[in-house]
Every structure is written in structure tokens, then in C-alpha cells.
Amino acid sequence: MALFEHYTRRSDRDFVTGRDAATRALSVAAVEHAFVERVYQKLASVYDYTFGPTLHPGRLEAIHKMRIRPGDEVLEVGVGTGINLALYPKTCTVTGIDLSSKMLEKADKRILMKGLTHCRVMEMNAEQMAFPDDSFDVVYAPYVISVVPDPVKVAHEMHRVCRPGGRVIILNHFKSTNAMVGTIERAISPMTVHIGFKADLDLEGFLTQAHLSPVSIEKVNVPKMWTLVTCVKH
């Protein structure tokens, strides 16, 4: 089927109940960078309308969890159209990275129109960031971990570029712990990748494989189908 030719469905054997979280597959759908880039190039013109208002409460809560102080340096992974940029205090500096050039064009226009002189955006692969170790006080990934081909690698990079004592914050949809809902999410995940996310990303497996130890995990937005994970780098 042409609709699904750009992703790979993982074997159901990888999802046997009880398989160790450190080794199990995180989603039934695997995507490549070129596929993700094509999806978001297409979504660039409508993203703010389709994913803007409904996901906004989670964005506000994430900003609160960052506890940004004057002079802090923030990295936003998957900055997209820059929909978050006006939320940051002007006393900090914000760097946003994304793989989609069309998304970044909109982000640049937003920075110019709103006078967000404390913000800049760059085209970059989140799995191979060009920043030195310990570069940022806050590293934030909003609604992007279930989009990238290798979420664990992105998490490792986020942790690497975060300074000791800094915060790594992930806002994302993860597979429900309700067995019935989780089964549905797994079934539809090969379709939801075409609108920008995997519906069945496994939270426990992700945190274990990424070696992240959250200080808080909470549900956000209405309905509360999204999860805000806050970690501190020691």
C-alpha cells in the first residue's frame, strides 16, 4: 500500500507482555529522517492551526516547569514554526533547532514580527547536535520525541548538551497504560505517523533506554492524553 511505504512495522513479538523495558521496541512504526522531513514540510502551513490551541496548555505548563532564571540558555528541540518562542521570558536566550526548513522559515518570520531578539533558530538534526557538552541550562522537546526516528538517541543528545543541574523536559504523547486504549494506539500508529507522530511510543521503555530518571511525570492538556516529563541532570 503506497500510503504506508515509508515506515516499517515492527514485529508484534517485540511487544510481548513482560519483555524488559531496556530491550523492547518502543513503537510498531519506524520512520526515517527523510520521511519525517517530508511530513513536516507539508504540515508547515497548517501546523499552528491544527496543533496550536489544543496543545497550548501543555506548553504553558512546560515553561513553568523549566524554572527559567535571568541569563539562562534554553534549547528547544523541534522548534517547528516557533509557536513557543513568545512564551519564553526575554531575560533568557533561546536556541531552537528543527529538521524542516519550511517550519524554520515560519519561525524566522515570527521572531522578526514579534521582536524576539532573544531567540534564534537553526536547521539541525536532533540526533546529532552540533553543540558542545553542557551548553544549555534547559533542554526542551515539545511534541517531538514521538516524531523522530530514534527517540532514545535524541534524549541522549538532550542530556549531553544540558549543563549539570539543568533541566531536560519532554512534552509528548505516549502509549496509554490502559490496555484497551494502548491496543488501539498501537493499531493506529502506522497511520498517525503521516500526521506527525507515533501514537504508541512506550514511556517506560523510552525512559529506561534513555537512562532518564524523572523528578516528575504529569498529564497535561484537555483531554489529558499528553505527558510532561521533567528531569534534572546530575
What's the one-letter identity of residue 127?
E
Domain residue extents for the chain:
22-82+91-232
Q: What is the pLDDT along the chain (234 residues), one digit of tens a residue?
A: 232 334 455 544 444 444 589 888 899 888 887 877 787 788 767 877 777 888 999 999 999 999 999 999 999 999 999 999 999 999 999 999 999 999 999 999 999 999 999 999 999 999 999 999 999 999 999 999 998 999 999 999 999 999 999 999 999 999 999 999 999 999 999 888 887 788 899 999 999 999 999 999 999 999 899 999 999 999
> Concatenated DSSP letters for 198-212?
-TT--HHHHHHHHT-
Neighbours of 63 (CB within 10 A): 19
The CATH code for residues 22-82+91-232 is 3.40.50.150
Residue 93 contacts residue 118 (beta carbons within 8 Å): yes
Query: Can you give the pLDDT at residue 10?
Result: 54
DSSP 218: E
Q: Which residues contact 130 (CB under 8 A, 6 or more apart)?
A: 124
Residue 111 contacts residue 85 (beta carbons within 8 Å): yes
Whole-prediction pTM: 0.86
Query: Can you give the pLDDT at residue 18?
Result: 44
